[in-house]
Amino acid sequence: MTGQAVTPPPHPDPSSLVIPTLSLPFTPHPHPASHEICEKTLQWVHESGLIHTDEQNRYLIESRIGLSFPNVVPHGDIDTVLLGSCINVWAALVDDQIMEKHGHPGGELARAMGSLVELESISRTTDSDAPTPGLPGPLAELSQRLHRIAAPEQVLRAQWHLLQYFMGLSTEAAHTHTTTTPTLADYKRIRQLTTCMPLFFTLSEVCRGLHIPTRTLMRPEAQKLTASASDLIGASNDIIGLRRDLRRGDTWTHVRLFVQQHECTYQEAIDLLAAEFLSRVSEFATLTDALQAADPQYGPLYIDIVQDVIAGYMHWAQHSPRYTLDGWHH
C-alpha cells in the first residue's frame, strides 16, 4: 500500500456544494418489522454497555443506525435479523469508538491496532466464559449466537469478512495517522474493505434461511459482482457524506483524491464521481447477467441478496443523519 505526504487543497464551504441524488435501478425492500428490530437493537446496545455518554446515546439514536440492517433484509425471522442488526451496529461502533478515537495524527495508533487484533481473535471464539467489558464482550456473545444458527461455512465467511473490515480500517487509519494520501487505486480497495458489504451479504443470506454454495461465491462472476456492489456503496457514501467529512476536517476523501488527480474544483470532482457511479451501475447490471448465465441455480439467489442489500443500505444512508451529523467525537 503506497502513499505520499501532500498539502491538502483548500476546502470549500461545505454548504456551497451541490450533492447529487443517486439512485439504483432496483428498489429497497425493508423488513416489515424494521422499526421493532431497530428498537430491540438499540436496547441490546445499551444492555451490552456499549454506550458511555449522553452524547454517544444522542448520536446512536439520531443517526438511525438501528434501521440500517433491517432496511436491507426484506424477510426473515425477527430474532435472526435482530442478530444481524446487532452485529452491524457493533461493527459501526468499532469505527466510532476505536478508529475515530485513535486513528488520527497524535492518536494511539498502536493501541487501536492491538484492539483490532484482540477483536479478531474473539470473533472466532465459541467460549462461554464471562464476557470482558467494552467491545470484546458483546462480540463474544454475538459470535456464539451466530455459531448456533448459521452453517459452518457461513460462520467462516462472516469471520473472514470481519477481518477484511479490520484490514480496511487499519490501512485507512495508518494513512490518516501519518498524514499520507493513498493512490486513487489504493483508496478504492480500502473503501471496498471498509464498506463491510460482504459481511452484510453473508448475514442477509443467514437471515433468509439460504445457503449459497462456496463454489458459487468463488466464481469470478460472483467475486466481481461483490466488488462492484462494494464500489457502489463506497462511492455513494463518499458523495452523501462529503459535507460532513469537510466540516470535521477529514484529511482525505474520494472526492479530494479526484480534486488532486484531475486538478479540478470540489464541485467538479463530485460531478465526476457521480458520473463514475452511474457507470458502475451499468457495470453492475452486466455482472448480474454474467453470474446468472454462469450459475443459473444459485446465481439469482445471490443477486437478489446483493441487490436488496445495496438498495436498502443506500436508501438508509441517504436518509440517515449519520452522514450529516457534525460535532460528535467517539
Per the structure block, which three cell numbers stand in for 151?
A: 452453517
Dihedral sign (CA 122, 42, 206, 283): negative
Helix (H, G, I), strand (E, B) or coil at 171: helix
Q: Which pLDDT score is estimated for 249? A: 74
- Residue 183's φ and ψ, nearest 5 degrees, are -65, 165
Instruction: Dump pLDDT digits (tens) for 94-144.
Output: 998 999 888 888 889 999 999 999 999 999 887 756 557 789 999 999 999
pLDDT band at 223 (very low <50, low <70, confident <90, very high): very high
Amino acid type, 23: S
Q: Which pLDDT score is estimated for 232? A: 97
Instruction: Give the whole-angstrom CA distance, residue 89 versus residue 188.
Output: 23
Q: Which pLDDT score is estimated for 106? A: 85
Q: Which long-range contacts (CB under 8 A, 24 or more apart) does 261-270 make?
A: 261/184, 265/12, 266/11, 266/12, 266/17, 266/242, 267/12, 267/17, 267/18, 270/17, 270/18, 270/19, 270/20, 270/239, 270/242
Mean pLDDT to the nearest integer, 70-82: 96
**What is the reported pTM?**
0.93
Q: Which pLDDT score is estimated for 233? A: 96
Mean pLDDT to the nearest integer, 178-184: 89
pLDDT band at 326 (very low <50, low <70, confident <90, very high): low
CA dist list (Å): 84 to 68, 81, 142, 145, 168: 10, 5, 9, 10, 21
Instruction: Dump pLDDT digits (tens) for 258-308.
Output: 998 889 999 999 999 999 999 999 999 999 999 999 999 999 999 999 999
Q: Which pLDDT score is estimated for 210? A: 97
| Angle, helices 184-194/220-240, rounded to nearest 10 degrees | 100
Instruction: Give the whole-angstrom CA distance, residue 24 versus residue 32.
Output: 21
